[in-house]
Amino acid sequence: MSKDWQAVSAAIKSRLDELDMTQAELSHRAGVALETVRELQHNLRPRRRSPRTLGAVSEALGWPSSHLAAIADGQSPDDPDAGDPVLSELDRINETLTHITARLDAIERQLADGDGRS
């Protein structure tokens, strides 16, 4: 599976703007070469990157170390619980309970209307 370096680039650009941080500051904080930051930010020379490099840049930008690697893999790092089968099942249970509650409310209204007619 190829990596989505364009998405990584967009995430870095956006985050640098949010933090009002320069490439030099990011390079210093992450402990990586300025050229590496430039390549990542502008998607120059897309190539395999060390997990340490992506982790260091992620952390320097205030993200979990796996953030940029997840973006490169096409995942949404905003939701670390995405795909969790237990949470998916809880969502289904919640939908079912919401449906049952709506039906009970309708039945109560019908019973209340029936009591008022007597």
For 40-79, the pLDDT digits (tens) are 999 988 888 888 999 999 999 999 999 999 999 888 776 5
Instruction: Answer yes or no: do 117 and 64 share one domain.
Output: no
Position 19 scores a pLDDT of: 92
Strands in 1-118 per DSSP E:
none
What is the domain range of residue 26? 5-72
- Give residue-wise pLDDT tens across range 32-42: 999 999 999 99
Question: Tokens standing for 92?
Answer: 């289904």
Counted domains in the chain: 2
Instruction: Answer yes or no: do 66 and 32 share one domain.
Output: yes
Instruction: Answer yes or no: do 67 and 12 share one domain.
Output: yes
The CATH code of the domain that includes 32 is 1.10.260.40
Query: Would you say residue 77 lies in a domain?
Result: no
Instruction: Answer yes or no: do 55 and 98 share one domain.
Output: no
Instruction: Answer yes or no: do 62 and 101 share one domain.
Output: no
**Is residue 61 a contact partner of residue 15, using CB atoms and an 8 Å limit?**
yes
Position 85 scores a pLDDT of: 83
Instruction: Answer yes or no: do 51 and 88 share one domain.
Output: no
**Is residue 57 a contact partner of residue 69, using CB atoms and an 8 Å limit?**
no
Q: What is the pTM of this model?
A: 0.63
